[in-house]
Amino acid sequence: MLTIPQPLVPGDDGTGDAAVTSALAAFSAGTAEATEVIAALSGARLLVPVVALLTSSEVGEHGLRQEKESEMALPKLVGNDGREAVLAFTGAESLKLWRPDARPIQATTPQVCQAAAAEGVAAVVVDVAGPVPFVIEGGVLAAFAAVQSGTLDRLGPDSGVTVARMAEQVPGPGPASRRRRFGWPLRRRG
């Protein structure tokens, strides 16, 4: 029997994580790189939509067709090239922009990516209806999934994932004191 998981954050009001929404806005404006969005998403709570799917109907007493049975389903996005993606949203408002009747399930970004990898889909699309859509795919998707499953050490050199160790830096003036968060090659789209 399937059970509904306990919420990650009890009392969550559905507001998007401030660091994620800020990084997405900066990315959209061209003042931040995709790596900054990835860094913000790495520890963020996302909302995965679940929708009712009619499995059978019947004609009721008044001669109208009505629902008899339905199941809850995780919708997938299918691109023009046939690739599939799992949807995730930063908050309740962005979820409502896509589909107001969808029910949110809380999950971390690595959990969503692990589920996407298990389903064999090519990407996770965050906030597909806006305000700022963002795609997690390729090596980044594989890395998040591997982090969640504890198999990061099994990613080979052909995975497209680079793992860098961050050394403690001494604060100082100039560009040399800036911290580089990740070295994943991502392209800005749009």
- The predicted pLDDT at position 156 comes to 63
Alpha helices in 137-176 (DSSP H): 138-149
Distance between CA atoms of residues 4 and 37, nearest Å: 29
In a domain, 146, yes or no: yes
Report residue 170's pLDDT band, with 50, 70 and 90 as the boundaries.
Answer: very low
Question: Is residue 148 predicted with pLDDT exceeding 90?
Answer: no
- Which has more pLDDT, 174 or 103? 103
In a domain, 168, yes or no: no
Distance between CA atoms of residues 159 and 165, nearest Å: 18
Q: What whole-number percentage of the chain has pLDDT above 70? A: 66
In a domain, 178, yes or no: no
Number of domains comprising the chain: 1
In a domain, 80, yes or no: yes
In a domain, 151, yes or no: yes
User: Strand 123-126 to strand 84-88: parallel, antiparallel, or no bridges (unpaired)?
Assistant: parallel
Question: Is residue 157 predicted with pLDDT exceeding 70?
Answer: no
In a domain, 18, yes or no: no
Degrees (nearest 5) of the Cα angle 163, 44, 158?
25
In a domain, 139, yes or no: yes
C-alpha pair distances (Å), 2 with each of 10, 27, 89, 164: 20, 38, 23, 39
Distance between CA atoms of residues 123 and 57, nearest Å: 33
Cβ partners under 8 Å of residue 127, min gap 6: 24, 89, 90, 94, 97, 133, 134
Write out pLDDT tens, residues 88-140: 999 999 999 999 999 999 999 999 999 999 999 999 999 999 999 999 999 89
Could you tell me the residue range of the domain that residue 134 belongs to?
45-52+69-163
Write out pLDDT tens, residues 54-78: 566 666 778 777 656 656 678 888 9
Task: Give the number of other CB atoms < 10 A from CB of residue 25.
Answer: 14
In a domain, 119, yes or no: yes
- The predicted pLDDT at position 178 comes to 30
